[in-house]
């Protein structure tokens, strides 16, 4: 592999200006990240802890192996929605190492609306289960929730990808030999009760944990029985009488310790993909990435400059560098794991599409995961392009990408517009992981182009070609507002269009974690389901 | 008696011993170009001395009585390997006249004095009579053959308190009991007799006045078979714990030369009068107030502390023992022997001085001897050596020499501090504390110094929270696999929210030696860490990492480096206040165990260590009072009284005399009195 030689001068004015501008994006990202990962209001945090309960991310810190990574997914889900009172959508999901095994962790945050399920909560929950299924990771549910958020029930309950689907997936995962284990920390009513009830193994914390299909108030209304919550569904009752629970824990620390103990003996194995050679850091500091990306979107930058700051030793074996130059393709390693990278250097032409399709097939044949670095306005338009068969040639790339059997990762670093988003493995193509930078923009097209398109459409409807200026201004403003709002990366991450916004500097590590994970996923096998008795 | 005066020279020596002294003797034999044969029990198969010897013979199971004390097997081993001589070392068969005779009978040279000298000096009563005959002053006491209780009690009354009960056949502190109050004389006598019987097969005791604040001073003598005899000056061995020496020096400090001369003269006249023909030691009790000295006993063997004499005289005592046995005459006369400089020795033992010198067992995980000019280490262990409860707890001796006493003390402290032994509790910190005692530094010490200086027992200086934090961090980094190729490990506790100040916290329960368990948290990764101990932030560092066994980090810009070793999830960090031994437990190691706590009752007698039950003084159904002795356990050659923790009725006796319970075994169960009443 050749080592990429950077053309960028970190002391140049442009670099510094870029850095300064991006630093503002990062400041915003940090402040929002802090809010999103701090749970509910201080009074609620205090009340939670006064009950002997541990905060959700603290539970995860205590659960995962000390000194190992936890890859939290979509921490800014629901950002800006529900008056911004639903940090992380009330649920923390991610991948961590527990007793040496990679596991998916799904943990309710009871300090956020009592841990109840909103639309994004469900979506995040399902996304984590989807990853567990794809990567064959045991799922550890840290349950502390009151079921569906009733005022939003039409967006939570009835549809195919709503709450019911989480339970369907739980059964399917278990049946596929992927352990489902729950620790119940608080009250689990109605839907919440099914998370533990459908788990292979359950741990309940004495005093705080409750499982009941109907709580005391519903019981009173339904059958006029007066009963307190502890008698109805307390941990001790479920351990010694109903058998709903398998392990009784005196407190949360012990519950988490029991969970670690159970995971230690799950007998799950992953493929050993340990690199043979020592890992080399990039020759160029990933911290420089924010100076590489031009703040002015009209000034292009070379995808190789990004790649040089992501890959081991900045070494890159480029494929077809002299042909289809607007798509940079080549092989590299990240944290020792092989990866085939596709990065945009402008719009996709027929040649670059064909090159991309060819490259994807090579990676598929060689069992090398794909990484798409999105910075694309779209496929080329115009007579020349159409006459050159851009429609079928771009489709070849989309087709190759869609049917590749190797793991696919996407990182949206800049714009990801229209069919370009399709060709580069957008969310609709189910990449194994998709992360975005604070500079990302995902939409059918940019606000500039969209407003011009709409103005052109309006003008073409007017026979005499004279549309009042006020109307055109009104159209432009509304289209720009819509595209501006909706292509904002926080709008996207709030709706789970990605697995989270990460700082450019974190990208190498995040990709390394993901590649190590997806490459170690074992082949599917036959396992037995567990029927709770 | 059949007596062979002329003995055949030999070229192969069997060493009827183990541990450091076996190593020492092997080295001496090698210097004299003699081949060596080691003997070993089941417990010593992998021991250092076994690997060093030219030949090695297995002589039986771990317990000493079936192996190192089994005379016939050892002689058989010598015959089988063609060894012409046996060196007994110290302890075991070193002062056993019967063994010396058996060697002679088998045509094997016993490297030591003649059997009858061993016999004479082996009996304290006879030895005292011989001392008196040679005009050597003796301590007032009772050495009679009438061992009846009434006679011994009458004698005790006459001698008065404080007095010492000693096993007549004993040595090395075993079977010795100090009586400061005559009302408990009977109890102590019974224990001394029991110990004497079990240790030496002879319950005969003698009584002696105990010199208050006396010093133990001894004179090394050397005699050959041609009748030449010299002394090699004196040693002070007053620093003793449980009547066993732990720090020795040569020469003895703070004794007027005229007194010393008298002492040398006395020692030499006794050894000459009896025709002493090997290396031996005449022990005295020196009264620093009256400047009188009294004969205690003569040890007809090599002493543990012989190296300090070697250091000041330049004479290799072990080699001379062997050369004398080979028939050589001493090549020097008294006036040729100079006493130059000062030498001091400390015995490193596997025991916990803070827990009544409880013997420690286990495997030595980390091991590094101190090195440097004038530092000598006589050790029987290496990394990986297993220390069992079967034998003496001494692991090694550190011997230093210097121009004067103060320099020797400093050097010895430094050498002990640099001596790294981890995986097993040792007395190192205790030794360093003793070396710093004013009374010791100014040579105002005596045999009771340790009881006086540490009236409630010695306490380890408490390691600080900062030390605990550093040791915890070191262990955390050691366990964190930062060099792994797997980013899930190599990135440490990576979190996406870290740039927003949301870094991960690792939670541990720290097991800190000498303290209660403490919660410890470590926050951060990639060189930057904040450590809390007991919910208080005590350490915040940057650029933390390891380099060559050192934890290196920056604390407010100050670069810190600490030596640290690891074994079995335990960090052993060298700090200003001593060794910080910290073990970090994972949640499942703490919280899963917790439910078992209900079984830890205060109504049981458990074995504090593995050992042999000598006697059980209670029967099922008997009424006992809290503090009553219920079991006598022998472990690491020391008798221990195990007392009832409560008042009540014995509900179960789970072992019998002769059993060897494991550590923690429940020996006796007691139904507490109040419980019975409640039920009634």
**Could you report the per-residue pLDDT of A94-132, keeping only the tens digit for each?**
999 999 999 999 999 999 998 899 999 999 999 999 999
pLDDT at res. B418: 86
Contact (CB<8Å) A66/B495: no
Structure tokens at B460: 């380890």
Task: Name the 3-class secondary structure at B207.
Answer: strand
Torsion angle, CA of B73/B76/B82/B83, rounded to 10 degrees?
Answer: 40
In sequence order, the 6+-apart residues with CB closer than 8 A to the CB of A221 are none
Whether the per-residue pLDDT at B595 is higher than 50: the answer is: no
pLDDT of B644 above 90:
no
Q: Do A34 and B497 touch (CB under 8 A)?
A: yes
Average pLDDT of span B575-602: 64
β-strand pairing of B12-15 with B375-379: unpaired
Let me know if B190 is exposed, middle or buried by CB neighbors in 10 A (0-12, 13-18, 19+): middle
Residue in chain A closest to B593 (alpha carbons) equals A254
Going through A157-268 in order, the beta strands assigned E by DSSP cover 180-184, 187-189, 201-205, 210-212, 247-249
**Distance separating alpha carbons of residues B478 and B549, to the nearest angstrom:** 10
Average pLDDT over residues A278-305: 90
Beta bridge partners of B12: B35
Q: pLDDT tens digit string along B656-678?
A: 888 888 877 888 888 776 444 43
Residue B7 scores a pLDDT above 50: no
- Give the strand pairing for B375-379 and B386-387: unpaired
Share of chain A above pLDDT 70, in %: 98
Neighbours of B664 (CB within 10 A): 10
Q: pTM here?
A: 0.68
B-interface mutation test, from A67, A266, A272, A498, most B Cβ less than 10 A away:
A67
**Omega before residue B162 within 30° of 0, cis:** yes
Q: How many CA atoms lie within 13 A of B76 on its CB side?
A: 10
| Cα of A274 to nearest chain B Cα, Å | 6
CA distance B561 to B46: 36
The reply to whether residue A68 touches residue B507, judged by beta carbons under 8 angstroms, is no
pLDDT reported for residue B5: 40
Q: Check CB contact under 8 Å for B496 and A97.
A: no
Identify the residue with better confidence: A94 or B455: A94
So what's the pLDDT on residue B602?
Answer: 60
Cβ atoms of B369 and B395 closer than 8 Å: no
Tell me what the mean pLDDT of segment B134-144 comes to: 87
User: Measured between alpha carbons, how far is residue A66 from residues A326, A509, B481, B508, B528 in Å?
Assistant: 44, 18, 11, 9, 15
Q: Is B677 helix (H, G, I), strand (E, B) or coil?
A: helix
Mutation target for B interface from A59, A64, A69: give the one with most B CBs within 10 A: A69
Catalytic residues of B: 301
Opening angle at CA A377, ends A375 and A383, nearest 5: 140
What's the CA gap between A375 and A421, in Å, rounded? 9
Q: What is the pLDDT of residues A416-443, one digit of tens each?
A: 988 889 999 999 999 999 999 999 998 8
Query: What is the percent of chain B with per-residue pLDDT over 90, rounded to a whole number?
Result: 49
**Residue A259: closest C-alpha in chain B:** B588
Identity of the residue in B481, B487, B587 whose CB atom sits nearest the CB atom of A513:
B487
Predicted pLDDT at A298: 80
Give B532 to chain A, closest Cα distance, Å: 15
Taking only the tens place, the pLDDT of each residue in A384-427 is 888 888 889 999 999 999 999 899 999 999 989 888 899 999 99
| Residue owning tokens 């109307």 | A471
Question: How much is the pLDDT for A274?
Answer: 87
d(CA B337, CA B333): 7
Assess whether pLDDT exceeds 90 at residue B74.
Answer: yes
Which two structure tokens, joined as six digits, stand for B24? Answer: 């020492």
Which of B435, B429, B405, B430 has the alpha carbon at shortest distance from B417? B429
> Cα–Cα distance between B24 and B15 in angstroms, integer?
10
Nearest CA in chain B to A278: B485
Cβ-nearest to A61 among B479, B496, B505: B505
Question: Percent of chain B scored above 70 by pLDDT?
Answer: 94
pLDDT of residue A487: 87
- Judge: A254–B591 Cβ closer than 8 Å, yes or no: yes
Higher pLDDT, B512 or B519: B519
Closest C-alpha to B124, from B219, B208, B198: B208
pLDDT of A529 > 60? The answer is no
Which of B107-121, B204-218, B464-478 is most confident?
B107-121
* Distance, CA of A378 to CA of A426 (rounded, Å): 12
Among chain B, residues having any CB pair with chain A shorter than 8 Å are 476, 479-481, 485-497, 499-502, 504-508, 522, 525, 586-588, 590-592, 594-595
Cα–Cα distance between A131 and A72 in angstroms, integer? 12
Q: Residue A291 and residue A272: Cα distance in Å, rounded?
A: 37
Among B483, B591, B592, B598, pick the best mutation site for testing chain A contact (most A Cβ within 10 A).
B591
Task: Verify whether the Cβ–Cβ distance A513 to B491 is below 8 Å.
Answer: yes
Q: What is the 3-state secondary structure (H, E, C) of B486-507?
A: CHHHHCCCCCCCHHHCCCCEEE
Q: Which tens digit of pLDDT belongs to each residue from B540-572?
A: 888 888 876 778 888 877 888 887 777 767 777
Tell me, what's the pLDDT at B594? Answer: 52
- Interface probe, candidates B487, B532, B585, chain A, greatest A C-beta count within 10 A: B487
Interface contact flag, B493 A278, Cβ < 8 Å: no
- Contacting residues of B for A253, CB less than 8 Å apart: 587, 590-591
Write down the pLDDT at residue A465. Answer: 63
Query: Does the pLDDT value for residue A222 go beyond 70?
Result: yes
Lowest mean pLDDT, pick from B31-45, B228-242, B537-551: B537-551
Greater confidence, B5 or B648? B648
Please, which residues bridge with residue B624 across strands? B648
* pLDDT 10s digits, B368-426: 899 999 999 999 999 999 998 889 899 999 999 999 999 999 999 999 988 888 888 89
Considering only the beta carbons, identify the residue of A37, A75, A260 that sits closest to B588: A260
Contacts of A68 in chain B (CB under 8 A): 488-489, 492-493
B647 contacts B663 by C-beta, under 8 angstroms: no
Q: CA-CA distance, A293 to A306, in Å (whole number)? A: 8
pLDDT at B18: 95
Q: Is the pLDDT assigned to residue B203 strictly greater than 60?
A: yes
Shortest CB distance from B480 goes to which of A67, A72, A257? A67
Arithmetic mean of pLDDT, B33-58? 95
Which two structure tokens, joined as six digits, stand for A132?
């567990």
Given an 8 Å threshold on Cβ–Cβ distance, is A257 in contact with B591?
yes
Which SS3 state, helix, strand or coil, does residue B59 take? strand
Chain B residues within an 8 Å CB radius of A31: 500
Q: Are A275 and A336 in contact (CB under 8 A)?
A: yes
Which pLDDT belongs to residue B600? Answer: 36
Q: Residue A103: closest CA among chain B residues belongs to which residue?
A: B488
Strands in B548-663 per DSSP E: 550-555, 558-567, 570-575, 578-585, 604-606, 612-616, 623-624, 629-635, 638-643, 648-653
DSSP conformation letters of B383-412: TT-EE-SSS--EEEEEEEEESSHHHHHHHH
Q: Quick check: B680 pLDDT over 70?
A: no
Inter-chain touch A261–B506, beta carbons under 8 Å: no
Predicted pLDDT at B539: 85
- Which spans in A200-296 are helix H? 216-223, 229-233, 235-237, 252-264, 289-292
Whether the predicted pLDDT of B578 surpasses 70? no
Cα A166 to Cα A322: distance, rounded to the nearest angstrom:
48
Per-residue CA distances from B504 to A261, B58, B489, B539 (Å): 21, 56, 14, 16
Contacts of A503 in chain B (CB under 8 A): 499
User: What distance in Å separates residue A281's CA from the closest CA in chain B?
Assistant: 12
Q: Between these two residues, B473 and A500, which has the higher pLDDT value? A: A500
CA pair distance A303, A293, nearest whole angstrom: 10
Write the CB contacts of A217 (distance below 8 Å, at least 6 apart in sequence): none
State yes or no: cis peptide before B251, omega within 30 of 0.
Answer: yes
pLDDT at A513: 96
Is residue B124 over pLDDT 50? yes
Which residue in B37, B34, B39, B40 sits closest to B54, CA to CA? B37
Name the residue in chain A with its Cα closest to that of B595.
Answer: A250
Q: Is B479's CB within 8 Å of A274's CB?
A: no
Mean per-residue pLDDT for A269-296? 90
How close A498 comes to chain B (CA, Å)?
14
The chain-wide mean pLDDT, for chain B, equals 87
What does the pLDDT average to over A252-261?
A: 94
CA separation for the pair A4, A292 (Å, rounded): 14
Q: Is B489's CB within 8 Å of A58's CB?
A: no
CB-closest option in A62, A97, A261 to B488? A97
Q: Has residue A526 got a pLDDT over 50?
A: no
């Amino acid at each position: 592999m050749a080592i990429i030689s950077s053309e960028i001068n970190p002391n140049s004015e442009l670099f510094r200006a870029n850095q300064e501008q991006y630093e503002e994006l990062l400041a915003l990202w940090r402040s929002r990240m802090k809010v999103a990962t701090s749970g509910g209001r201080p009074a609620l945090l205090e009340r939670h802890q006064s009950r002997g309960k541990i905060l959700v991310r603290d539970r995860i810190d205590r659960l995962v192996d000390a000194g190992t990574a936890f890859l939290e997914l979509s921490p800014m889900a629901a950002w800006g929605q529900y008056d911004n009172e639903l940090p992380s959508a009330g649920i923390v999901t991610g991948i961590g190492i527990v007793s040496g095994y990679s596991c998916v962790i799904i943990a309710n945050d009871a300090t956020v609306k009592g841990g109840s399920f909103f639309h994004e909560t469900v979506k995040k929950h399902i996304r984590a289960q989807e990853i567990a299924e794809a990567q064959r990771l045991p799922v550890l549910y840290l349950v502390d929730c009151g079921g569906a958020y009733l005022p939003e029930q039409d967006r939570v309950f009835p549809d195919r990808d709503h709450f019911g689907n989480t339970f369907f997936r739980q059964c399917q995962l278990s049946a596929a030999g992927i352990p489902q284990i729950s620790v119940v920390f608080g009250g689990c009513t109605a839907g919440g009760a099914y998370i533990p009830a459908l788990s292979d193994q359950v741990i309940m914390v004495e005093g705080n944990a409750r499982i009941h299909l109907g709580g005391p108030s519903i019981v009173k209304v339904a059958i006029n029985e007066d009963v307190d919550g502890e008698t109805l569904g307390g941990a001790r009752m479920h351990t010694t009488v109903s058998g709903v629970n398998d392990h009784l824990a005196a407190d949360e620390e012990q519950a988490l310790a029991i969970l670690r103990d159970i995971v230690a003996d799950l007998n799950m194995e992953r493929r050993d993909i340990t690199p043979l050679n020592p890992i080399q850091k990039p020759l160029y500091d990933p911290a420089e990435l924010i100076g590489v990306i031009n703040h002015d979107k009209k000034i292009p930058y070379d995808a190789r400059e990004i790649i040089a700051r992501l890959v081991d030793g900045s070494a890159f074996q480029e494929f077809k560098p002299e042909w289809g130059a607007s798509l940079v393709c080549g092989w590299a390693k990240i944290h020792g794991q092989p990866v085939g990278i596709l990065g945009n250097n402008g719009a996709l032409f027929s040649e670059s599409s064909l090159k991309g399709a060819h490259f994807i097939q090579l990676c598929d044949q060689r069992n090398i995961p794909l990484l798409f670095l999105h910075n694309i306005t779209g496929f080329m338009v115009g007579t020349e392009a159409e006459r050159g068969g851009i429609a079928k040639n771009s489709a070849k790339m989309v087709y190759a990408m869609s049917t590749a059997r190797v793991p696919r990762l996407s990182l949206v670093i800049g714009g990801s517009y229209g069919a370009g988003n399709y060709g580069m493995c957008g969310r609709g193509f189910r990449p194994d992981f998709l992360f975005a930078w604070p500079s990302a923009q995902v939409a059918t097209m940019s606000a500039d182009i969209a407003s011009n398109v709409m103005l052109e459409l309006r003008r073409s409807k007017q026979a005499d070609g004279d549309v009042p200026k006020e109307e055109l201004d009104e159209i432009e403003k509304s289209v720009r507002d819509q595209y501006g709002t909706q292509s904002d990366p926080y709008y996207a991450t709030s709706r789970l269009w990605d697995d989270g916004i990460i700082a450019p500097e974190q990208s190498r590590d995040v990709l390394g974690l993901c590649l190590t994970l997806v490459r170690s996923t074992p082949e599917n096998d036959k396992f037995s389901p567990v029927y709770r008795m | 008696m059949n007596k062979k005066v002329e003995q055949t020279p030999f070229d192969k020596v069997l060493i009827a011993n183990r541990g450091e002294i076996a190593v020492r003797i092997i080295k001496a034999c090698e210097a004299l170009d003699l081949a060596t044969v080691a003997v070993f029990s089941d417990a010593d198969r992998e021991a250092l001395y076994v690997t060093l010897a030219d030949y090695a013979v297995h002589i039986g199971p771990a317990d000493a009585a079936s192996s190192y004390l089994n005379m016939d097997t050892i002689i058989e081993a010598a015959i089988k390997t063609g060894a012409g001589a046996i060196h007994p070392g110290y302890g075991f068969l070193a002062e056993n006249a019967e063994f010396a005779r058996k060697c002679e009978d088998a045509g094997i040279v016993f490297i030591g004095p003649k059997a009858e000298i061993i016999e004479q000096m082996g009996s304290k009563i006879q030895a005292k009579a011989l001392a008196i005959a040679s005009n050597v002053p003796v301590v007032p006491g009772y050495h009679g053959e009438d061992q009846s209780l009434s006679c011994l009690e009458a004698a005790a009354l006459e001698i008065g308190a404080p007095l010492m009960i000693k096993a007549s056949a004993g040595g090395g502190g075993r079977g010795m009991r100090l009586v400061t109050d005559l009302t408990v004389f009977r109890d102590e006598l019974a224990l001394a007799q029991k110990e004497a019987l079990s240790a030496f097969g002879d319950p005969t005791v003698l009584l002696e006045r105990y010199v208050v604040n006396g010093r133990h001073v001894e004179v090394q003598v050397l005699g050959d078979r041609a009748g030449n005899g010299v002394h090699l000056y004196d040693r002070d061995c007053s620093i003793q714990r449980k009547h066993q020496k732990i720090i020795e020096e040569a020469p003895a400090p703070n004794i007027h030369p005229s007194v010393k001369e008298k002492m040398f003269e006395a020692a030499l006249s006794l050894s000459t009068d009896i025709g002493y023909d090997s290396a031996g030691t005449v022990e005295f009790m020196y009264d620093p107030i009256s400047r009188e000295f009294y004969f205690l006993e003569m040890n007809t063997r090599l002493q543990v502390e012989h190296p300090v004499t070697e250091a000041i005289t330049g004479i290799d005592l072990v080699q001379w023992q062997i050369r004398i046995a080979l028939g050589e005459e001493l090549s020097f006369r008294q006036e040729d022997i100079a006493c130059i400089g000062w030498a001091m020795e400390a015995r490193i033992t596997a025991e916990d001085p803070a827990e009544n010198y409880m013997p420690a067992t286990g495997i030595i995980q980390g091991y590094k001897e101190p090195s440097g000019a004038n530092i000598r280490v006589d050790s029987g262990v290496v990394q990986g050596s297993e220390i069992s409860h079967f034998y003496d707890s001494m692991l090694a001796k550190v011997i230093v020499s210097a121009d004067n006493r103060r320099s020797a003390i400093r050097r010895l402290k430094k050498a002990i501090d640099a001596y790294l032994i981890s995986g097993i509790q040792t007395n190192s910190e205790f030794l360093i504390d003793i070396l710093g005692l004013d009374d010791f530094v100014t040579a105002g010490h005596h045999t009771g110094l340790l009881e006086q200086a540490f009236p409630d027992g010695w306490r380890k200086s408490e390691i600080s929270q900062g030390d605990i934090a550093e040791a915890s961090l070191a262990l955390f980094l050691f366990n964190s696999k930062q060099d792994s190729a797997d980013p899930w490990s190599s990135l440490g506790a990576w979190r996406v929210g870290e740039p927003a100040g949301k870094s991960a916290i690792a939670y541990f329960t720290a097991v800190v030696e000498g303290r209660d368990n403490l919660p410890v948290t470590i926050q951060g990764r990639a060189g930057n860490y904040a450590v809390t101990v007991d919910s208080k932030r005590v350490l915040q560092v940057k650029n933390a990492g390891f380099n060559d066994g050192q934890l290196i980090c920056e604390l407010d810009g100050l670069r810190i480096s600490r030596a640290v070793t690891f074994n079995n999830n335990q960090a052993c960090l060298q700090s200003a206040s001593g060794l910080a031994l910290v073990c970090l437990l994972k949640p499942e190691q703490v919280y899963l165990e917790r439910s078992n706590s209900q079984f830890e009752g205060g109504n049981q007698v458990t074995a504090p260590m593995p050992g042999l039950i000598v006697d059980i003084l209670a029967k099922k159904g008997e009424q006992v009072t809290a503090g009553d002795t219920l079991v006598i356990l022998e472990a690491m050659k020391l008798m221990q009284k195990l007392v009832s923790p409560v008042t009540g009725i014995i509900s179960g006796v789970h072992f019998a005399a002769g059993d060897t319970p494991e550590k923690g075994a429940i020996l006796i169960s007691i139904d507490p009195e109040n419980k019975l009443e409640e039920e009634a």
